[in-house]
Amino acid sequence: MPLINVSYASIQSDEKKAELIAELTRAYGRVMGAKESSVWVILNEVPRTDWGVGGQTLDGLDAAADTHRKDARIEVRQARKEDLRTLAAIEAECFPAAEAASESDLRARFEIFGEHFWVLEADGEIVAFIDGLVTDSPVVFDDLYQNPASHTRHGAYQTVFGINTRPVYRGRGYASALIEQLIDQAREQGRSGVILTCKKELIGFYEKQGFELDGVSESTHGGEIWHDMTLHLN
């Protein structure tokens, strides 16, 4: 009887826990060749006051991070060519290998639509970035990721290829700041809207930014299920 024991420092909804149990069970059965009916899963939700790292509780580390966040000097600016190696490293931290753009991918994109690359610096360090080409298509399709030449300078829609924030800097509003910057740029350039695809768990986040859910995307990027979303500008 295989037993999967998972501990995490957060409180999740019953729906998310059921989904996690189902995914873990399927993955174990597929990889290990076991019957799913034989797999046991135990989830342990641990309060952040009861989980320690490096001699400090996660709750204490959260408080320290909040203090640093309030004091950090934040700047959003357009990316420069010399930033690309750092951006590739951040991309690799944020996405699975099947979905992440390589440094050469980012360089190819930057050469064609570099003005649509924005970075966020915290105390002078790049910790997040956003990029996306412009197209006349009202939805993001897979070929756009692979073919930077698909960029249409005067197209109707600004795409979001990815919003990448280093994991240790998440939850500080940095992704929202970058989205706002790209939306402002699209509005100034007279675009009809901003479009993106995202996974199910991020739909709520983008809805808070003003995006509307259009439905399940035809994209199969990275072998995942994606959802089309649009923010209409006019």
CATH 3.30.429.10 in the chain, residues? 3-67
Which has the minimum average pLDDT: 12-21, 23-32, 67-76, 176-185? Answer: 67-76
What's the pLDDT score for residue 107? Answer: 96
- Rounded Cα distance between 151 and 81, Å, is 18
Hey, is 214 helix, strand or coil?
A: strand
Mean pLDDT of all residues belonging to the chain: 92
Report in angstroms the alpha-carbon separations of 105 from 67, 68, 163, 167. 36, 33, 16, 22
Look at the chain and count its residues: 234
Look up the CATH number of domain 3-67: 3.30.429.10
| 161 CB-contact burial (10 Å; exposed 0-12 / middle 13-18 / buried 19+) | buried
Q: What percent of the chain has pLDDT over 70?
A: 97
Beta bridge partners of 168: none
Task: Tell whether the model's pLDDT for residue 189 goes beyond 90.
Answer: yes
Contact 133, 150 (CB under 8 A): yes
Task: Tell whether the model's pLDDT for residue 222 goes beyond 90.
Answer: no
Instruction: Provide the token pair at 190.
Output: 């007279």
Contact 62, 48 (CB under 8 A): yes
Tell me the pLDDT band of 207, cut-offs 50, 70 and 90. very high
What's the pLDDT score for residue 96? Answer: 86
Contact 101, 131 (CB under 8 A): no
CATH 3.40.630.30 in the chain, residues? 72-232
- Rounded Cα distance between 202 and 198, Å, is 6
Look up the CATH number of domain 72-232: 3.40.630.30
Contact 115, 97 (CB under 8 A): no
Q: What percent of the chain has pLDDT over 90?
A: 73
Tell me the pLDDT band of 43, cut-offs 50, 70 and 90. very high
Q: Which amino acid is at 173?
A: G
- Rounded Cα distance between 185 and 170, Å, is 23
Alpha helix stretches (DSSP H) within 57-173: 58-71, 84-94, 103-113, 142-146
pLDDT digits (tens, 9 = 90+) for 106-149: 999 999 999 999 999 999 999 999 999 999 999 999 899 889 99
Instruction: Provide the token pair at 8.
Output: 């995490």
